[in-house]
Structure 1
């Protein structure tokens, strides 16, 4: 049986599911785009090619090997995008929650069945069908769970609104011992610079007590201010709209003092190093064109 334990974003990582980019399928059509950033690159003819994305993912796998992290990979589905494992599930404490994703992504979960089957039945959680949630919206901070959502009545108009209020309520029932706080995120089907696809596109804890934040990702300023107060202004690295667009908040922690980050994130990586954090730089700019980065393509199973 598989040992699960994840209480935060930064404790020492021991095992993880890393997505795969092989047999990613043809470039989607404009109609098939799930998010405005992919749409932008499809239209511009700059959508990433499989060979480049495979190289980027292998660079991450090499970092995990260096730090002795056990890595699971999904089973290959021909012509299917299986990069973003964070969307399809997440672990909280010793529970593995299967995410309710967009219906045509259901097969992505089937491809990690080899891991799911190793989880004891009583630790597997499947939310009711009307509760939409994806792992990118779920951020752990010990006794707190932060959840990105969209509370607008026009929720169903947004293909990029992935976590609804019903799911937030279900999570409160599932984890009554945790403090659950939800954040209303800014959504745009058409403008990637005005769209926080998930909470991890505009916020992530890092190090011992620090956080990366992007103010404009939050629809309600008071909720953004709450996070600034929670971490303390001096501990917050505020990213610009352009840095958010390039996914600067979507890095991934191996421990409190080791972070995997994109090599072009110059300002962020400098700040991390100034705060005593080792930065393992990888190329990930091609994958980021699909509005996902390092946190999106990892699903941690065990942290110390």
Structure 2
């Protein structure tokens, strides 16, 4: 691995990308925990793995090096002190506080190979895998000892987009919104700090996972080397966006503008990239429901102020004009999900019709089930590569959600 990280656009040719192949954590979903763990259904593991492998094959066939979160994390644990720190922090963040339980989980992890331990951390630790005898009142009376899991599974991990965001030659390691996902970015923090391919690269961390406000990678689009678009959404707050802007502007990044786009704070549109993605130099997919009948939206442009630490914030309502001014293009083509049809648009948006992954300018990976949106993209000159999606789509995330680009060619 030469240059570790560099992302200055959404559409530059994809050279390296981080994935997580769905594992046992998906099978550890049950109906009573689906809502808490942010799922609407339970995928069938053998098929979701087949579909994910097909996705990885498409990326490789189109020139991208695919690296896996689970492999990088395993490679990071060669130093015993790094393993000690990860085990200790994960136990703490999993809410395990009774001494006997902490000892039992620690001993369980240390009894495994590094790869077995990584898989188990992600899959979760069932209560019946351990024998814990404690006279602690909290253990005897609290929910901790009555749950099926002492350490909850992380079924959302195959959505690697959210846990961290490469912005230029730096990275944001994200503070996630919901408890079900907060621990996930610990893995990326460990990799960036300690993996030999990353720790030697002097990577700038624009924002770390200990920030008080939440921001998730699905809300962040790199428009070009000077501008980001970030969704004000169910999972990313306006305050977090201000903090990100201040960090980027003050730490000598190349970014000079942040376009904050308000979207409905509902599960169906949990991130900006579920309703809006970039597919070419001047073209985007968009879900019609984020605009009203007059195409009005709430858009805020954040730029550096002449006063140190302050921001200039301006309000706009015309997304096309803001993008035109930001990208310095003559016209912007906003391609509606489901062709704007009142039935096809919400159906295909629910199944990630707007969640495209550009692998080079004008070439995108999409789910095959979104046939109306895919055909419209082709009619607009976009090459569409479809992947199977019967099980992948059950988690409410598409090709962009499932990928964390680490390196793209500059435009």
Maintained 8 Å contact 1:183/1:218: no
Q: Indicate which of 160, 172, 175 corresponds to 2:248.
A: 175
Give me the whole-angstrom Cα distance separating, in 1, the residues matched to 2:23 and 2:357: 22
Give me the whole-angstrom Cα distance separating, in 2, the residues matched to 1:34 and 1:210: 36
Aligned residue runs from structure 1 range 48-63, under 5 A: 48-63=43-58
Aligned residue runs from structure 1 range 15-30, under 5 A: 15-24=16-25, 25-30=27-32
1:131 matches 2:126: no
Aligned to 1:251: 356
Aligned to 1:44: none
How far is 1:123 from its partner? 1.5
Aligned to 2:184: 108
How far is 1:216 from its partner? 2.0
Give me the whole-angstrom Cα distance separating, in 2, the residues matched to 1:292 and 1:205: 16
Maintained 8 Å contact 1:35/1:290: no
- 1:196-242 per-residue CA deviation (whole Å, 9 max, x = no partner) reads 10000111111221011113236993237522334578711112222
How far is 1:86 from its partner? 0.7
Distance 1:28 1:229, change over 3 A: farther
Question: Larger % of helix: which?
Answer: 2
Q: Indicate which of 327, 336, 358 corresponds to 1:238.
A: 336
Distance 1:218 1:21, change over 3 A: farther
Distance 1:178 1:77, change over 3 A: farther
Give me the whole-angstrom Cα distance separating, in 2, the residues matched to 1:147 and 1:286: 28
Maintained 8 Å contact 1:137/1:148: yes
Maintained 8 Å contact 2:163/2:173: yes
- 1:9-35 per-residue CA deviation (whole Å, 9 max, x = no partner) reads 111110010121022232243444258
Q: Indicate which of 64, 67, 75 corresponds to 2:59.
A: 64
- Counterpart secondary structure, 1:221: coil
Aligned residue runs from structure 1 range 178-217, under 5 A: 178-188=256-266, 195-217=268-290
Give me the whole-angstrom Cα distance separating, in 2, the residues matched to 1:234 and 1:179: 18
**Of the two structures, which has the highest relative contact order with CA contacts closer than 8 Å and spacing of 6 or more?**
1
Stretches of 4+ moved more than 6 A in 1? none
Aligned to 1:145: 228
Aligned to 2:297: 222
Maintained 8 Å contact 2:336/2:373: no
How far is 1:258 from its partner? 1.9
1:262 matches 2:367: yes
Aligned to 1:292: 397
How far is 1:131 from its partner? 1.9
Aligned to 2:129: none
Aligned to 2:4: 3
How far is 1:126 from its partner? 3.3
How far is 1:276 from its partner? 3.1
- Counterpart secondary structure, 2:230: strand
Structure 2, unaligned runs of 5 or more: 71-117, 124-153, 250-254, 300-316, 325-330, 338-344
Give me the whole-angstrom Cα distance separating, in 2, the residues matched to 1:286 and 1:57: 9
Maintained 8 Å contact 2:364/2:382: yes
How far is 1:73 from its partner? 0.5
Aligned residue runs from structure 1 range 273-288, under 5 A: 273-288=378-393
Count of residue correspondences: 282
What TM-score results when the alignment is normalised by the length of structure 2? 0.63
Give me the whole-angstrom Cα distance separating, in 1, the residues matched to 2:33 and 2:265: 18
Structure 1, unaligned runs of 5 or more: 42-46, 151-160
- 1:12-71 per-residue CA deviation (whole Å, 9 max, x = no partner) reads 1100101210222322434442587x33x3xxxxx2111111111100111112122111
Worse overlay, 82-91 or 96-105: 96-105
Structure showing greater radius of gyration is 2
Distance 1:89 1:234, change over 3 A: closer
Maintained 8 Å contact 2:11/2:361: yes
RMSD, aligned CA: 2.5
Give me the whole-angstrom Cα distance separating, in 2, the residues matched to 1:221 and 1:34: 34
